[in-house]
Amino acid sequence: EPSVCPAPLRAPGAMEKFISTDRRLSSEASPELRALLKQRLKIVEGPTSTSGAGQTPRVSAGTLGGIASAPVRLPSQRVREVAGVTDRGSHDENACFAVTGRCGSGRGPVTRTPFLAAGVAPLSPAPYDARTAHSLEMRVRELTLRNDQLTQEVEKMKDKLLEDEGALFSEERDRLLAETDELLAETDRMTTRSQEMVAQREALQAEASEVRASEEEVVELRAECESAMVQVRLRDEHSEQARAQAGNSAQLASAAEVAALSEEVRVLRAENEELRQAKRALEREGRLQREVAEENERLKAELAQMRLEQERLAEAARNATPTASSCSESRLRAVVTSHGATSEQLRQAIGGVEALLDEARRELANKQLRERRHAFEHLHTAIEKADEAMLVEAVAAAKLAEVDQEDVEKGEAKLAELRALTTEERTARAMRELEAKRKKEAFLLVKKDEATALVALLDGLAEGVRWQDWRDYAGRTMWRCARELRAARAQKVLAQRLGLKVPEEGQKAGTWPASEKTPHVAAPAATAAAAAPATSPSQP
């Protein structure tokens, strides 16, 4: 819209020119603009009827003078719709006045101006309307340009809507297909679930039938139990009646019977105890027989091996190549059987054989000495270890190797002492040997500072073993040994078990803190004897 309202149409032919231009533009414009221009034309021409107030006769094209002389008066409603006049003021003022300034915007101050044709006395001293044909043409051009712009924008929006509609249709189709697939998958899952539930229902029905059958059985058993209980109560009542009738005589008889049964039980217990002792003796004898049988099998195996070795050596001797000895023997045999041999030849042959014999005797003495030494060492090792099977083998080897009779007697005495031990003594001896072995392993683990293995060893000890009293070759306990060797992990393990605290890093090793006491106590004689390895007074 123009910023200033046009001047009054005073030039001759201006109204006809404006009307013709308005009609031409309305025929070329779009429907929206055509409707707007038609409304403008109605406003300018006024109503076509000749009755009523505010009417204006239509002016034909060619009557130039009638335009200026005819009064132009717009209806009040049209003035409000076109010029943007508000409802302020009277109805006549809104119908008779035009608007100046920014028409229809409602933003600036509104000035009412009377709008009358030439030759008519004005209603007020205000000037005529300043609209002209030129300003209306400019206004129409602006509206046409605006209409073209709006048309282009509408076309662009239509194209965009068509493109978006195709994209939306494809996306909607994909979404519907995805939803259809999900619904089909859900249908399959529900079908599978319904089949599983049908199977579960059948299984539950089978279980319910089994439960009903078991309930029927329980009811039957309960009825049988009740009947049995009734019979038992009846028997008890009959028994009580019979005992009441029997009186004191039955009581005396039952007391005598109880005494006889008690005596019989005592005798049976004594026989049972004798049988248990006999069973233990048979078990010991069976163990001894098994040990003897195992020893016999071992000796038989060794004897068979020695025989095989002897046969192998004999075969090797038979297959050996002739040596110097065989040559000497052959030469002596040849000289002896020869009639023409001289005494010097016979003396040389005898000397060669004697030299060979002396060498054989020396080799025999050396071999016997080595065997005797080995048998002696093996015998004393078996005596120190106090192993019965090892002693049997060592004594037999010592006799075969001609060891001194005194040493053989020591081994036989130790063997007899071991065989004379009872089962309890053997068990105690085995426990002492095991404890000595564990003590050696414990001190070795403390030296290596292996906390995990030390914990496992201490946990594996039998109840009642006083490992706190164990001492090494230097008379140190494990705690003192760990502190002197600075075994930190071993100290933590031992401190937790002894209820002590681990010394600080800066504390001197080998000294006891003032707040601590020696974790060990004087071991009793029995514990010391159990901790020490079993030795014989005859050992060196």
* CA 293 – CA 290 distance, rounded (Å): 5
Average pLDDT across the chain, whole number: 72
Distance of CA 300 to the CA centre of its chain: 59
Partners of 99 in beta bridges: 112
- Residue in 462, 463, 448 with CA at minimum distance from that of residue 493: 448
Four-residue CA torsion sign, 6, 7, 11, 16 = positive
Query: What crossing angle do the helices spanning 388-400 and 405-419 adopt, rounded to 10°?
Result: 160
Q: Are 366 and 373 in contact (CB under 8 A)?
A: no
Query: How far lies 288's CA from each of 387, 389, 412, 433, in Å?
Result: 15, 12, 18, 21
Which residue intervals of 386-477 are DSSP H helices? 388-400, 405-419, 423-448, 451-459
Between residues 381 and 426, the one the model is more confident about: 381
pLDDT for residue 248: 63
pLDDT for residue 246: 65
Has residue 301 got a pLDDT over 50? yes
Q: Are 531 and 436 in contact (CB under 8 A)?
A: yes
pLDDT for residue 250: 62
Q: What pLDDT, in 10s, does the model give residues 513-530?
A: 433 444 443 333 333 333
Has residue 324 got a pLDDT over 60? no
Q: Which of 123-132, 430-439, 474-483 has the lowest mean pLDDT?
A: 123-132
Q: Where are the domains of the chain?
A: 14-131, 321-419, 426-531
- Residue in 36, 78, 85, 34 with CA at minimum distance from that of residue 55: 78
Q: What pLDDT, in 10s, does the model give residues 148-170?
A: 888 888 888 888 877 766 666 67
Q: What pLDDT, in 10s, does the model give residues 404-435?
A: 889 888 888 888 888 888 888 888 888 888 88
Q: Which of 78-92, 134-148, 219-233 has the lowest mean pLDDT?
A: 78-92
Has residue 56 got a pLDDT over 50? no
Query: How far lies 515's CA from each of 51, 352, 499, 518, in Å?
Result: 133, 88, 12, 10
- Residue in 525, 535, 527, 531 with CA at minimum distance from that of residue 432: 531
Has residue 106 got a pLDDT over 80? no
pLDDT for residue 24: 60
Has residue 300 got a pLDDT over 60? yes
pLDDT for residue 128: 44
3-class SS of residue 457: helix
Partners of 112 in beta bridges: 99
